[in-house]
Amino acid sequence: MWCKSDVIDSEVVVLGAGPAGLVLANLLCAVGMRCTVLERRSREWVENRARAGFLAPDSVEVLRRHGLAEGLDRYGSTHEICEFRGPDRKFELSYGSLGSGRPHTVYPQQLLVTDLLAELLRRGGTVEFETTAEAVGDLDSDRPWVQTRDAAGRVRRHTGQFLAGCDGARGIAAAAVPPPAAIRDHGITWLALLVQAPPSSANVLYGVHPEGFAGHMPRSADITRYYLQCDPEDTPESWSEQRVWDALTRRLAATDQEPLSRGPVVERSLVRLRSEIRDSLRQGRLLLAGDACTAISPSAAKGANLAIMGAELLARALTAALRHHDMTAVDRYSADYLPMIQRAQEFSHWMIELLHPPAPDDPQAAYQRVLRRARLDSLATSRHHQDFFAENYVGI
Ligand code: RFL
């Protein structure tokens, strides 16, 4: 039996203060909804977690539409050219003037999250930091709950009319809905690096090297993200700074005329490329948004964008349900969101095949190498292929 002070009631309880949870909570607060966000980490951790940087035009529009784009409009930068570099060829694609003719906006995820948090608190939202959601229940009732434990070890129960699972791919919400219908481990691991140095080029660089993929993504004037495909058995420590810069130099075809601007590696982690696709994003009154819905590889920079788009869809559905007693959009939520997720998965997989050489023990390796080269040739020369790439690269 719960004592009264240990039960906190809201209209919507949001699990997770990432882009999905914070956009959702901002939109709900804007219509006067009582909404509590539960976040297991500290505010400082959440505001400093560097992840995404490339925002699609559709996600930027969502943020602008809801008064959440002040920071990115002031400090973000437009990005519209990417470059493919191999040992024997280089080419640029001005994707901002191909396909649907739209650029990316580069704005580091931690800055966006910081802005979203500040705005949510300004709108009167509640965020409970260092509060871990440990269990959810009564999902098929009209009063589902989340059981939490805070940093002091206090266990409480948060109830709401709906729960929003925005707690990422490994969160407890994803485990409470029907399991993924399809799972794919791509067998590829990246060493993801943040380097304290200005970008080496204004462009995103994709190193398509027989030895493995390397990527260069501008983030800000003094921080650059690099990726290096590595052995799945590697640890971050198996890469000394010397080894990192040697591999980046080779795979990104850097030269004395186009050198890499070096600096200390300030963060390194391993990212295993995995995909998970679900048929349903809902169990009763628990609905998922963002990474909780789908594990997606960062190869096409879709995750944060899917999170923002899904948060807007979910906010609309919950507002219709709770303000107008209309459950149609809640019932249609999975069917509305899944096509977006599936297209992002398809293009991310297309990018994985383009960027990575086949595994050396793949019996089809020679064949795969020929296909990859032909695809790159086509991308370098065919306007139709370039339009397809550009439309999908910025689309969501
Ligand atoms: P998040 O950001 O993971 O937030 C989930 C939050 O939930 C909290 N949490 C819990 N809280 C309470 N109780 C629990 N039991 C909890 N369990 C978890 C976590 O602490 C966390 O704060 O999910 P969200 O909001 O769905 O956002 C998804 C994005 O973060 C993610 O898709 C992107 O970062 C992916 N991604 C990129 N996406 C892009 O669109 N463009 C990019 O350029 C891009 N670059 C990247 C990326 C992901 C990367 N990694 C590290 C996988 C680059 C990298 C290296």
SS3 190: strand
**Is the Cβ atom of 119 under 6 angstroms away from ligand 1?**
no
- Report yes or no on 263 lying in a domain: no
Mutate to test the pocket of ligand 1, among 22, 43, 109, 224 (most ligand atoms within 8 A of CB): 109
Mutate to test the pocket of ligand 1, among 23, 51, 294 (most ligand atoms within 8 A of CB): 51
| For the chain, percent of residues with pLDDT exceeding 70 | 100
Q: Which residues are catalytic?
A: 79, 206, 298, 302, 393
* Atom nearest to 306 CA in ligand 1: 40
Residue 380's Cβ-side half-sphere holds a number of Cα atoms within 13 Å equal to: 14
- What pLDDT is attached to residue 8? 93
- What pLDDT is attached to residue 396? 81
- What pLDDT is attached to residue 108? 94
Q: Which of 295, 20, 350 is nearest to 180 (CA)?
A: 295
C-beta of residue 321 within 8 angstroms of C-beta of residue 327: yes
Pairing label, strands 54-55, 104-106: antiparallel
121-152 pLDDT, tens digit each: 999 999 999 999 999 999 999 999 999 999 99
Residue 113 CA, ligand 1 centroid: distance in Å: 10
19-53 pLDDT, tens digit each: 999 999 999 999 999 999 999 999 999 999 999 89
**Is the Cβ atom of 96 under 6 angstroms away from ligand 1?**
no
Give the domain range for residue 339. Answer: 4-78+106-182+275-350
- What pLDDT is attached to residue 360? 84
CA gyration radius, the chain: 22
CATH of the domain at 69: 3.50.50.60
- Report yes or no on 331 lying in a domain: yes
pTM of the model: 0.96
- Report yes or no on 228 lying in a domain: no
* Atom nearest to 133 CA in ligand 1: 13
- Report yes or no on 137 lying in a domain: yes
| For the chain, percent of residues with pLDDT exceeding 90 | 96
Tell me how far apart the alpha carbons of residues 360 and 36 are, in angstroms, rounded to a whole number: 50
- What pLDDT is attached to residue 216? 98
- Report yes or no on 227 lying in a domain: no
- Report yes or no on 218 lying in a domain: no
Q: Residue 88's pLDDT band (boundaries 50, 70, 90)?
A: confident
Question: How many domains would you assign to the chain?
Answer: 1
* Atom nearest to 296 CA in ligand 1: 32
- Report yes or no on 369 lying in a domain: no
Tell me how far apart the alpha carbons of residues 293 and 281 are, in angstroms, rounded to a whole number: 6
- Report yes or no on 387 lying in a domain: no
Q: Is 325 exposed, middle or buried (0-12, 13-18, 19+ CB in 10 A)?
A: exposed
Q: Indicate which residue's Cα is closest to atom 23 of ligand 1.
A: 168
Which contacts of 320-324 are long-range, i.e. CB under 8 A and separated by 24 or more positions? Answer: 321/161, 321/162, 322/11, 322/12, 322/33, 322/161, 322/162, 323/31, 323/33
